[in-house]
Structure formats: C-alpha cells, structure tokens
Amino acid sequence: MKFVRGLESKPLTTATGYFAISCIWIVVSDWLVGTFAPSLQSFLILNIAKGLIFLAITAGLLFLVLRRLQQTSAALSEESRAALQKSELHFRLLVEQASDGIFLADATGHYVDVNSAGAEMLGYSREEVLGLSFSDVLMEEELVRLAAEVERLSESKTVMSEWKFRRKDGTPLIGELSGRRLPDGRLQGIVRDISQRRQAEQELRESKRWLDAAMDAARLAVWSYDLVSEELVTNARGKEILGLPEHARVTIPDLLSRIIPEDRKMIEADIWRQPQDSEIRLEFRVVSPIGVRWVYARGSGSTDESGEHIRTNGVVMDITERKLAEGQLKLLQEELQQAQKMEAIGQLAGGVAHDFNNLLHVVMSYAELADLKLPADSPVKRHLQMILEAARRATEVTGQLLAFGRKQILNSQVFCLNQSVANTSKMLGRLIGEDVLLKTDLDLELASTKADPGQVEQIIMNLAVNARDAMPEGGKLTIATKNVSIDKTHSSIPAGNYVCLSLSDTGCGMAESVKSHIFEPFFTTKAKGKGTGLGLATVYGIVKQSEGFIECTSTPGKGTRFDVYFPATEPFLPLEDSGEDIESLAAHNETILLVEDDESVRESATAMLESIGFHVLVAESGDEAIEISREYGRGIELVLTDVVMPCMSGNQLAAKLRENRPDTKFLFMSGYTDDAVLRQGIKQSAVPFLQKPFTLRAMARKIEEVLRAPAQTIPLS
C-alpha cells in the first residue's frame, strides 16, 4: 500500500517509469524469445506467456490504483458532506441572527422558510408563518399591486420596494423589501421594519410644518453669514423681509444698500464678525418694493472644529406692524392724557358752573321778584331788566362753554333751526376770527324739528371750529338751512321730510382716505396739540341721539360741506316768547315741597314759589323732606327737588316719597351741565327737568305743565 501511495504522490514520474519499464520489457522479452525459442511453436508460446505476464502485472497495478482511488473518493465525499453541513449550519446561524426578516416562498407565494426575526416582526411563530401566503400578511390596499411586483422579480437583480404588512394582531407595519427570484423559481425576500423611521419622518415633517407656520405667523425668517465667502444666505421669507433679490447671491453690501442711511451705520460689515459668544440684536429699516419696513435681526456666531469663528446665524422678523402699533399706542396715550386733562377741566368747570348757575339763579330770581313789586313807571325797573338780561347772557355763555364733550340731559323741544343759527352767530364771529367771512343762507319757511337746541348749537360750534382750522389763511364759512324731501333712492337716509343744516367752507378739503375716518374718536389731521379728535365724534353722537343723519362732501383744495338732517315736524309758537302774564300762571292753592341743599337758592326759590301763590314746604336735605312728608297731613301736589345733593340724590328721594305718596308729581332741577345729573339716575328727557338758572315764568310754566299732565311715570334707577 505504501508503494501505491508513493505512486499516487508522483503521478508523472510513475507514468514515465511505467512507460520505460514496459518498453524495456518488450524489447528484452522479444530478444530473449527470439534467442531461446528453438522453434516457431515455442516462439509463439513464449510470446503469449510474455503478453499474459505483462497483462497480469498491468491489471494488478490497475487494480491497486482503482482501489486507492475508490478509497480516496469515499473519504472526499465524507469530508464534503461534513463541510456542507458546517456551511449550512453557519448560514442558518447568520439568518437566525439577522435583525431583518428573511423569507423564502415558493412560486405560488406561500412561505417555505422564515427566520426568527421575520416571524417575530409579523407577530407569528415560525411554524405559523410557513402556512401563510403573501396575501395573508399584507394590508388590503397593497393587494392590488402584488401580482405586478412579483412579476418584476428576477434572478439578475434585487428589486427594492416598500410595503404595508399586517401583523397577526391587525396592526400595520411598514417594511422595506429587497426581493429576488432564485434559479429554482423560489422567491426570496429580506424585510426591514421602517415603521419607526417613517413615524420619525412624519413627526419631522409635522414639526417642520408647525415651525414654518409659526415662522410665517411671526413673520420670522432665518439667515446665515459666511465669514469666508462673505455670502449672506437666507430663505425666501428673509429675502422678502430684507427686500433682497430672490434668485441671486447676496452679500452684506447688497443688504447695506437697502438699509436707510440713518440706520446703516449700525449694520457695518464688521458687526457680522463678532465673537461667537456675542449675540447680535438690531432694529433697522429697509427699503423694499412695498415701502419702508422695520426689521429686527438677532443672531450669534458658530465655529469650526478648531474653534475658529466662521459663521454667524440668526433670525430676522418684520416688525413694521409692531412699530406702527407702538407709534399709534404712543399717540393714543397722548390723546388719552389730553382727554383726561379735558375731563378734569370739564369736571372742574362743571363744579364751577354749578355754583355759578346757583348764584345766577339767586340774582335772576330776586331781580324778577323785585321787578314784580315795582310800579311800571319806576326807573329802577330798567336797571333790573338789564340785570336779568346780563344774567341770561351769562347763562348762555356758561352753557356754550360747557357744551363740548358733555352728556347733558336732552331737553328736546320743537323749534326752528334758524333760531339756533341766530343764537350762535355772534359767538361764531368771535370764534372763527376776522379773516373768515361768515355768511348765512336761511330758509325763512323752514319747517320745525324736535331736538335739543343747546346740542344743535354745539353741532354748529364744532363744525365751525373745524371749518376755521381748514382755512388758516382765511376764507368763507356759509351756514344754510333748507327743507329737504328724500325719496327711497337715497342710499343712507330713510325716505321722508327733513330740515337740513349745512355748513360749507372754502378750506383745504379732505382726501377720501381721510374722510372715511373723520367721525372716529381721537382721529384728527391737526398738528399735535391743535386738536383732540373728539369734535366730529361728538357731532356724530349728537346727530344720532337726535335721530338725525350727517353727510360729508369734500374735495382736496376746494373745501368741505357737512349736511345735517333732522326729521321735520309741525311748527309751534315758543312758550318763552308768548308774552304770557305771570298772573295767568298763578297757583290754585297747591302745595309744593321744595328740596334744595344750597341756602341762597332755597330761599330765592321759596320766594319765587310763594310770589305766585303756592304753599311751600321747605327742606334742605332728602332726609328732612321725608320727615316733612311723613308729618304733613294734607296732600303734596308737587316735589321740586335738586338732583345732586349730599347723602341722598333727588332720584333716591323720589323713590322713597313715592312709597307713601304715589300720586305726588316730581320736578327735578340742577345747576350741573355735565353728566353729573345722569349719574344720579335721571334718564335723558324722560323726566320733567329745570336747568338752573331759570326765570320765574319758566318755573311757573314748567310747574303748571307737570301739574296738568296725566299720571307721571319716572324711570327711577
């Protein structure tokens, strides 16, 4: 055997040696046979024996070689099987240890093998997966493309695709599949679970969407300045805010060219090179296609791996609206301060007017009483009439001075607008100045209207002041009245008959953008300190309160006209001018309870009431009036009470007295011209009211009106 193994180890040498020996054998054997064969027969027999010996030797050698080859082949097969088993085991370990799912399916789409990761991924055991097909583990919406995707699989390349798988519990799984077709027709696939990745991508997209929305809502943009290339990079919003070209390389000089010169010195190029731990905060103005915009920029530096400052990053925001709002807020604060100052002055003036009106009332009442007691030919009567006339004029001046911005009790009455124009003409002449020509154009057949004459005069005063301010170099102011009939074609005023009060000037006029805001409170085109913006707002409020309408027509450079429309009504003869004798207004034994906290007014009013025959009960406070009412055994026809009194207002007194005297009527009086009366609960024109100072005739007429009126309803708060 060693001999055979030796031959196997040297196959070429062995073959060469065998060939040489065979050749020597043939030659030597042929010579020996030829030499020693005595006859032909012997020669043939020896040749045959020689050949047989050669064949036997050759067969023996061939047997030994084939036997060795058989043994070697058997040994090699055993080693191959062991190596194959080892390789298969190694492959199975790799497959089982893989984190991705590895699936093997037959040509019909039924799984024939799966690793543990694949089974676990789908929520099945390995045995359960081997009984399933593709359609069993895919979401229903994926089945429509299954056949086409399987057809794409080939041996030459791996096909990548994304699928929605259905786990055993029905929940979805997003998998990235690498599939191919094997040579034997089976299908192999490797699935990676990318559900978390897709969820993270979705959350990232959602976060970006919210970030973009927040940046859009905040008018915010990002920017970055590269110190090496000196290039300023910003997003589309940033270029829009900074007024930069949309598709162009931007440098700091490009930005500086768009910043207004006053702010440019803050944004010099060196500022972008500040240390990385230094924060930039700047506010500046840029010129953009839509005008000058305020910009807020904030940023800080960043460094490379060596710590060198190479970039500055930050955000920019359009703060134009905030800046405008701050300016408007500042203006409103100034206007509020002015309004508060006016309110304080108004309250002071109201208190002074109250005392002044009380004094005027005393003067007027005693002058009237003295006038009644003198004979008609007495020279003193002339003096008393002058005193009364001066007191009346003082009353008018007080009312006009305090009319602006006051909430007065409406004293609505039927009157003619021409009368209001006439009453204000003298004061207007002094108010508008000598360089403004005042002209009136009054309709002598003007219909009457029902409103508060004092507030109508305030309308005239406010509009005249505005007209004067619109004519700083002089001009003409025309006040006109006329009857107007409006039909249904008018856009803003209901159809009907109206009396129209017009004030037109030859001033600077107004643009349409200004005219649309003129009735807004605090809106003014006048210089700072020249107006409060309340004049036209007050006019508008009075007109609406009087159920009227106002229109404005204006042309820049050609003047302005205001038309105020009041509902027309039937004319009447004013009672004040009726010339009625005081004797005709005498009392008929009625009892009046007078309640007044001011001693001088209380005494003068008592004298006035007694002079025309009333029985007067006098109280200086609400509590005293209640006590007198309780003790007085007979009827009290009327309570004449001041509205504003210490401890108890006239309104509160009326509420208490009505509990025991429901038939008693009330007449309120006050020297206040602002809203102090309203604060005491007297509602507009719903109650009988006397404004101090009043004349004897006015008081007597009002008392007669109240006493003769039907049952009284007073809205008590």
SS3 412: coil
Segment 679-707, tens digit of pLDDT: 555 654 457 888 888 888 888 888 888 88
Segment 558-590, tens digit of pLDDT: 889 999 999 998 654 443 444 455 555 555 678
| Structure tokens that stand for 669 in this block | 């009086």
Separation CA 537–CA 463 (nearest Å): 11
List, in order, residues 6 or more apart from 124 with CB less than 8 Å away. Answer: 132, 168
CA max distance for the chain: 217
Separation CA 7–CA 340 (nearest Å): 129
Q: Given this model, what pLDDT does residue 404 score?
A: 43
**Comparing 180 with 413, which gets the higher pLDDT?**
180
Q: Given this model, what pLDDT does residue 502 score?
A: 93
Other C-beta atoms closer than 10 Å to the C-beta of 29 total 17
Helix (H) or strand (E) run with residue 549 in it: strand 549-555
Q: Side chain identity at 494, as an amino acid letter?
A: P
Q: Given this model, what pLDDT does residue 138 score?
A: 92
CA nearest neighbour of 554 among 499, 513, 520: 513
Helix (H) or strand (E) run with residue 665 in it: strand 665-670
**Comparing 370 with 41, which gets the higher pLDDT?**
370
The CATH-assigned architecture of domain 579-708 is 3-Layer(aba) Sandwich (3.40)
Segment 249-281, tens digit of pLDDT: 777 777 788 888 888 877 765 455 555 556 778
Kindly indicate the confidence band of residue 87, based on its pLDDT and cuts at 50, 70 and 90.
low
pLDDT exceeds 80 at position 164: yes
Strand duo 111-114 + 220-226: pairing: unpaired
Q: Where are the domains of the chain?
A: 2-92, 100-199, 218-318, 417-569, 579-708
Average pLDDT over residues 381-401: 72
Q: Is 436 exposed, middle or buried (0-12, 13-18, 19+ CB in 10 A)?
A: buried
pLDDT exceeds 60 at position 316: yes
Separation CA 608–CA 373 (nearest Å): 12
Please say whether the beta carbons of 533 and 602 come within 8 A.
no
Q: Given this model, what pLDDT does residue 163 score?
A: 92
| Structure tokens that stand for 91 in this block | 């492959």
| Structure tokens that stand for 309 in this block | 């400052």
Q: Cα 337 to the chain's mean position, in Å?
A: 28
Q: Point out which residues pair with 162 in neighbouring strands.
A: 176
Q: Distances in Å between the alpha carbon of 310 and those of 223, 268, 360?
A: 14, 18, 85
CATH class name, domain 100-199: alpha beta
DSSP state, residue 30: H
Strand duo 172-181 + 279-288: pairing: unpaired
Q: Given this model, what pLDDT does residue 277 score?
A: 59
Please say whether the beta carbons of 605 and 596 come within 8 A.
yes
CA nearest neighbour of 650 among 613, 689, 607: 689
Average pLDDT over residues 536-541: 75
One-character DSSP codes across 21-82: HHHHHHHHHHHHHHHH--SHHHHHHHHHHHHHHHHHHHHHHHHHHHHHHHHHHHHHHHHHHH
| Structure tokens that stand for 605 in this block | 């009013």
What mean pLDDT value characterizes the chain? 78
The gap between the terminal CA atoms of the chain, to the nearest Å, is: 138
Please state, for a pLDDT cut of 70, what percent of the chain lies above it: 79
Please say whether the beta carbons of 152 and 142 come within 8 A.
no
Q: Does domain 218-318 have CATH number 3.30.70.1140?
A: no
Dihedral angle, C-alpha 287, 289, 293, 297, nearest 10 ° = -80
Segment 539-557, tens digit of pLDDT: 877 788 788 888 888 888 8
| Structure tokens that stand for 220 in this block | 């915010």
Residue 226 CA neighbour count, 13 Å, CB half: 10
| Structure tokens that stand for 99 in this block | 């984190």
CA nearest neighbour of 419 among 394, 387, 452, 372: 452
* Beta strand spans in 319-394 (E): none
> Sign of the C-alpha dihedral, residues 342, 347, 351, 354?
positive
Tell me the CATH number for domain 417-569: 3.30.565.10
| Structure tokens that stand for 547 in this block | 């159920």
* Beta strand spans in 405-462 (E): 413-415, 436-441, 448-451
**Comparing 378 with 684, which gets the higher pLDDT?**
378
Q: Given this model, what pLDDT does residue 1 score?
A: 52
Look-up of token digits 């009319």: 403
Average pLDDT over residues 472-495: 84
Average pLDDT over residues 140-155: 88
> Sign of the C-alpha dihedral, residues 603, 608, 609, 615?
positive
pLDDT exceeds 50 at position 457: yes
Helix (H) or strand (E) run with residue 29 in it: helix 11-36
Q: Given this model, what pLDDT does residue 576 score?
A: 44
One-character DSSP codes across 164-229: EEE-TTS-EEEEEEEEEE-TTS-EEEEEEE-HHHHHHHHHHHHHHHHHHHHHHHTTEEEEEEETTT
Segment 192-205, tens digit of pLDDT: 998 888 888 888 88
Q: Given this model, what pLDDT does residue 659 score?
A: 87
**Comparing 607 with 523, which gets the higher pLDDT?**
607
3-class secondary structure for 484-534?
EEECCCCCCCCCEEEEEEEEEECCCCCCHHHHCCCCCCCCCCCCCCCCCCC
Taking each helix axis as running N to C, give the angle between helix 417-432 and helix 453-469, from 0 to 180 degrees, rounded to the nearest 10. Answer: 40
Dihedral angle, C-alpha 71, 76, 78, 81, nearest 10 ° = -160
100-199 and 417-569: identical CATH topology: no
Q: Given this model, what pLDDT does residue 529 score?
A: 46
Please say whether the beta carbons of 605 and 673 come within 8 A.
no
